């Protein structure tokens, strides 16, 4: 293991830290260049870049994990590559060959090895691939050139107490249109969630839950994570909707709930008026990992699931199984782990 950076690994939050190297590759005249690692964390782009005016950009979020033996591994990186290409396709941006995407991620992790937190610190290396439309332009049309970059930083839990219950409030606002870009990882969805997030935080909640934009009766997701609930008869349930992000963590949990915990599972409507059906609930995502939901505030009333202070037993088992796989302590289903 190479020498580690001088960082207080056990007390990291989820915030920007400049690491030593990032990868950039440019698309021009119909093809990607080879890409390279650079040290400068500033991007110089045309003032006419479509990413700046028309939101022609998308991104991914993924992590590298240090195992007990000191190895470094990625969790399902080809799923991130595929999802980035779905976002790119809809926003009229060039796709990135999956091997180029994963190779770029590996290069960045290797070059920044000193920033991969030690096993057992509870921290990980968060990786942010970003694809933006650049070049001289002013019309709302696809950009003439594109920049793909990948950078990374060590992070702790996104919700500051980690594996501890957080309360959410239901937003009156929508983050995405019924058949719009909600299912893609594009910046506009996050811009739309900044104000509702601000309101939720101001009222003392961890984040807000969005309801379906058509009827406002069904849970969609949290602004930064998908929702799941465990019913009173031990079923793992998660909302099905075209306007939520298809979370790689959520699909992994659906698989693990069924195959490892032997629970029934379902992707279906989750009615906000029927929260009583759940004995446990959680938010899941790369940054959020699994964050237990203590309660959900709706129409002036806080509906508490398992407890506002303690984590439910099934949420705990799911967390231990997922993290066990990510950190290499539990054997992963085929193809889930890619060594760096
Ligand atoms: N939903 C939203 C809106 C997100 O930003 C994220 C984070 O990536 C997720 C869900 C979880 O997705 P994943 O598990 O692929 O990180
Ligand atoms: C992630 O979990 O990777 C995200 O992108 C969520 C948030 C930090 C924006």
Is 195 a residue whose pLDDT tops 70? Answer: yes
Query: 9-157 is classed in which CATH architecture?
Result: 2-Layer Sandwich (3.30)
* Residue 228 alpha carbon to ligand 2 centre in Å: 17
Which of 145, 144, 171, 160 has its CA nearest to residue 227? 171
> Which protein residues are within 6 Å of ligand 1, measured from CB?
61, 221, 223-226, 245, 247-250, 285-286
Ligand 2: which of 160, 207, 224, 288 to mutate, most ligand atoms within 8 Å of CB? Answer: 224
Quick check: is 185 catalytic?
yes
* Distinct helix (H) and strand (E) counts, the chain: 6, 18
Average pLDDT over residues 133-147: 97
Chain region(s) in the chain for CATH 3.20.10.10:
166-326
pLDDT band at 265 (very low <50, low <70, confident <90, very high): very high
pLDDT band at 10 (very low <50, low <70, confident <90, very high): very high
pLDDT, residue 2, reads: 67
Average pLDDT over residues 173-180: 94
Per cent of the chain over pLDDT 90 is 97
pLDDT in tens, 76-119: 999 999 999 999 999 999 999 999 999 999 999 999 999 999 99
> Which protein residues are within 6 Å of ligand 2, measured from CB?
61, 158, 224, 285-287
pLDDT, residue 79, reads: 98
Nearest CA to ligand 2 atom 7: 224
Q: What is the CA radius of gyration of the chain?
A: 20
* Residue 29 alpha carbon to ligand 2 centre in Å: 32
pLDDT in tens, 301-316: 999 999 999 999 999 9
pLDDT band at 1 (very low <50, low <70, confident <90, very high): low
pLDDT band at 279 (very low <50, low <70, confident <90, very high): very high
Average pLDDT over residues 231-237: 97
63 Cα nearest atom in ligand 2 = 3
Chain-wide mean pLDDT for the chain?
Answer: 96
Q: Which of 42-46, 162-166, 285-289, 311-315 has the lowest mean pLDDT?
A: 162-166
Chain region(s) in the chain for CATH 3.30.470.10:
9-157
Domain 166-326 annotated CATH 3.20.10.10: yes
pLDDT band at 160 (very low <50, low <70, confident <90, very high): confident
User: For residues 7 and 115, what is the distance between their CA atoms, to the nearest angstrom?
Assistant: 8
């Amino acid at each position: 293991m190479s020498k580690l950076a001088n960082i207080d690994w056990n007390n990291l939050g989820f915030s920007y830290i400049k690491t030593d190297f990032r990868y950039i590759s440019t698309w021009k005249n119909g093809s990607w260049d080879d890409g390279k690692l650079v040290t400068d964390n500033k991007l110089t782009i045309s003032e006419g870049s479509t990413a700046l005016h028309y939101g022609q950009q998308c991104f991914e979020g993924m992590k590298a994990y240090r195992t007990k033996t000191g190895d470094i591994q990625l969790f399902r990186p080809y799923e991130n590559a595929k999802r980035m290409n779905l976002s790119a396709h809809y926003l009229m941006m060039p796709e990135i060959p999956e091997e180029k995407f994963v190779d770029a991620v590996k290069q960045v992790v290797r070059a920044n090895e000193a920033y991969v937190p030690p096993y057992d610190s509870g921290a990980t290396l968060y990786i942010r691939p970003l694809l933006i439309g650049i070049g001289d332009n002013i019309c709302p049309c696809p950009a003439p050139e594109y920049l793909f970059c990948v950078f990374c930083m060590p992070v702790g839990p996104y919700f500051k107490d980690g594996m501890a219950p957080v309360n959410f409030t239901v937003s009156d606002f929508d983050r995405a249109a019924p058949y719009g870009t909600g299912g893609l990882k594009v910046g506009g969805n996050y811009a739309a969630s900044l104000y509702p997030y601000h309101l939720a935080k101001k009222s003392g909640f961890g984040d807000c839950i969005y309801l379906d934009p058509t009827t406002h009766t069904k849970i969609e997701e949290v602004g930064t994570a998908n929702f799941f609930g465990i019913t009173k008869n031990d079923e793992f349930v998660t909302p099905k909707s075209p306007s939520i992000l298809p979370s790689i963590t959520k699909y992994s949990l659906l698989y693990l709930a069924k195959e490892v915990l032997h629970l029934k599972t379902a992707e279906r409507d989750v009615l906000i008026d029927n929260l009583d059906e759940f004995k446990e609930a959680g938010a899941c995502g790369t940054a959020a990992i699994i964050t237990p939901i203590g309660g959900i505030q709706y129409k002036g009333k806080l509906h508490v699931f398992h407890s506002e202070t303690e984590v439910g037993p099934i949420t705990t088992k799911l967390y231990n199984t997922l993290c066990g796989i990510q950190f290499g302590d539990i054997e992963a289903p085929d193809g889930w782990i890619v060594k760096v």
